[in-house]
Chain A
Amino acid sequence: MMNVALPKGRLGEKAYALLARAGYPCPDLLSDNRRLTFEHDGVRYFLVKPSDVAIYVERGAADVGIAGKDILLEYQPDIYELLDLHMGRCRMCVAGPKDFVDDHTRALRVATKFPHIARNHFGARSREIELIPLNGSIELAPLVGLSDVIVDIVETGTTLRENGLAVLEEIVPISARLIANKASFKFKETQIRGLMEGVRRQTDARA
């Protein structure tokens, strides 16, 4: 049995469609019910919060998973990152008011869901920051004076524009990755490589 952790939501739907095309379908997964695990043909799938996929895989509850690069950069899990799936593409950015000018005489207030990435980014240039960890609606922070800028993922930039904000700097491009638990890879290598090759054929065909 191979355990696969998929992210809930939009990325999960794309990930599922990719797996189905790669020869790993699970029709039950699409039925909108309250079940948490689904089995098909020797593979067990479970849907988890996107930011938790890496934890399930790193701790071996899932052998493989599909996770955004943002999550991998933030949590730095000790896993194998087997494939770039070239989907769920977006950018990790510093964003703020369109006319923002950094005042270097004081610490920059940064609101984010990604404290590790933010600290690394500003730390690399020795810019002192005051980190404000938030769990959602990050764009609100600079609007109400909670922070000067935000570090967040930007897909189309529409939310930013509609609120008078703009991308000030791109930190890193993001896309979904196929990841595997290191120990699982040793003991289920044939199965994991099979899935990996199936997925690779699909992503190469579309690249």
Chain B
Amino acid sequence: MNGNLREDERISIALRALYQTYGYRPYRVNRFEEYELYLRNKKFLGSERILSFSDTDGKLMALRPDITLSIVKNAREEELPLRVCYAETAYRVPHGAHGFREIMQVGVECIGQVDLYAMGEVLMLAARSLETISPNYVLDVSDMGLIAGVLGKREGHEAILAAISQKNLHGLREACAAQGIDARTQALLEALTEAGGPLEPALEQLDRLDLPEACRAPLARLRALAKVMRQTGGERIRLDLSVVNDMNYYNGLIFSGFIEGVPTSVLTGGRYDPLLMRMGHSGEAIGFAVDLSALEQSLPPQKRPDVDVLLIYGKDADAAQVARAAEAIIAGGESVRVQREGRVTCTYKRRVALGEGEAGV
């Protein structure tokens, strides 16, 4: 049966099965939410373009551009800790696109209590999600606390984060100069931007930097996670501190997954305690989403025929006899397209004309 599924459908099913094995309950969210929810959190969404419409009572509604926001908003305190997985469509304008697109996402959210085990579990599930898609993957791991620890409580660090996310050292120097950042801090930021490679050795490199006290906790966290991840992924789990996101929503662990042959990241995730707090919950949260739409565009076109058998009958054929012939083919384990002689618009493995050879039931 699975042989008839599209590759993205197969992946979606396999991923949800994986998440459910670890006790993540399937979760459905409404396709619509009040527009205001997204307006309040447009920085989290990274875009102001939201597909909105008026409900029958005049209330401004939106087709959800994001799944995490809806899950967090709808989570009730008594449901926490919550571990859910989903396969849902989001509606947004992808980077560089000119119109809204339906984006198929499969993901998990772990809300309420996130300790080292939970972080390790989510990171392991992220690695295994990528592995389900292709053995040639890379999972880049970072901790927002490291950059934040070096930067301190400065405002207006957007330009610095943007440069770090592009591994843009010359841009980082310019941004540091514009912000009046001292030479030592700048050197540390440059070193963090350049740091990378398989998780454990790369973390040892960081130990050699003279990082401020505030970086100690995030470093310890990453080291502990590296230990948890020893059984998963090996050298495919890498430290890359250029993985950054908005500090108003994300804190701590953050990660991004790539599949060879797909030009953009297919998996993004991380800790989002600040978002949880903004939505009126206390506690911790972590999650990730796999973007199946990004994947779909890079899959090779399907070359499989539409059906196994094309069953052709003449215009005078007996309908009951045609039905019997079709059933006989299906009973033999093949799929069949039944069609009167004339133009053929499907691809098939073999063609059978009723009244000839084996189909003459």
Contacts and interface: CB of A to CB of B under 8 A. Distances in A.
Interface of A: 55, 58-61, 75-84, 181-187
A80 B96 contact: no
B96 A83 contact: no
Q: Which 9 residue pairs of A and B lie closest in terms of their CB atoms, listed nearest first? A: A60-B263, A81-B168, A84-B170, A186-B138, A80-B167, A81-B166, A183-B258, A186-B258, A187-B260
Contacts of A55: 96
Contacts of A182: 258, 263-265
Contacts of A82: 167-168
Contacts of A181: 263
B154 interface: no
B243 to A, nearest CB: 10
Given A58-B96, A77-B96, A78-B95, A183 B167 contact: no
A73 to B, nearest CB: 11
11 contacts: A60-B262, A78-B96, A78-B264, A82-B167, A182-B258, A183-B260, A183-B263, A183-B265, A186-B138, A186-B238, A186-B258
Nearest to B266: A183
Main secondary structure of the interface of A (DSSP, over half): mixed
Interface in B144-182: 166-168, 170-171
A161 B325 CA distance: 84
A58 B263 contact: yes
Interface in B249-271: 258-260, 262-265
Given A58-B96, A78-B95, A183 B168 contact: no
Contacts of B265: 182-183
Contact of B170 (A58, A61, A79, A83): A83
Contact of B140 (A58, A75, A76, A186): A186
Nearest to A196: B167
A185 B256 CA distance: 13
A166 to B, nearest CB: 27
A80 B263 contact: no
B136 interface: yes
Contacts of B166: 79-81
Which interface residue of B96, B171, B260, B263 has the most chain A CB atoms within 10 A?
B263
Contact of B96 (A61, A75, A81, A184): A75
B133 to A, nearest CB: 13
Contacts of B170: 81, 83-84
A28 to B, nearest CB: 27
B118 to A, nearest CB: 26
B319 to A, nearest CB: 51
Given A58-B96, A75-B96, A77-B96, A183 B264 contact: yes
B138 A187 contact: yes
A183 B171 contact: no
Contact of A187 (B95, B258, B264): B258
Given A83-B170, A187-B260, 17 more contacts: A60-B264, A61-B263, A75-B96, A80-B166, A80-B242, A81-B166, A81-B168, A182-B265, A183-B263, A183-B265, A184-B263, A186-B238, A186-B258, A186-B260, A187-B136, A187-B138, A187-B258
Interface in B124-150: 136, 138, 140
Contacts of A58: 96, 263
A185 B138 CA distance: 11
Nearest to B137: A186
A142 to B, nearest CB: 29
Nearest to A72: B166
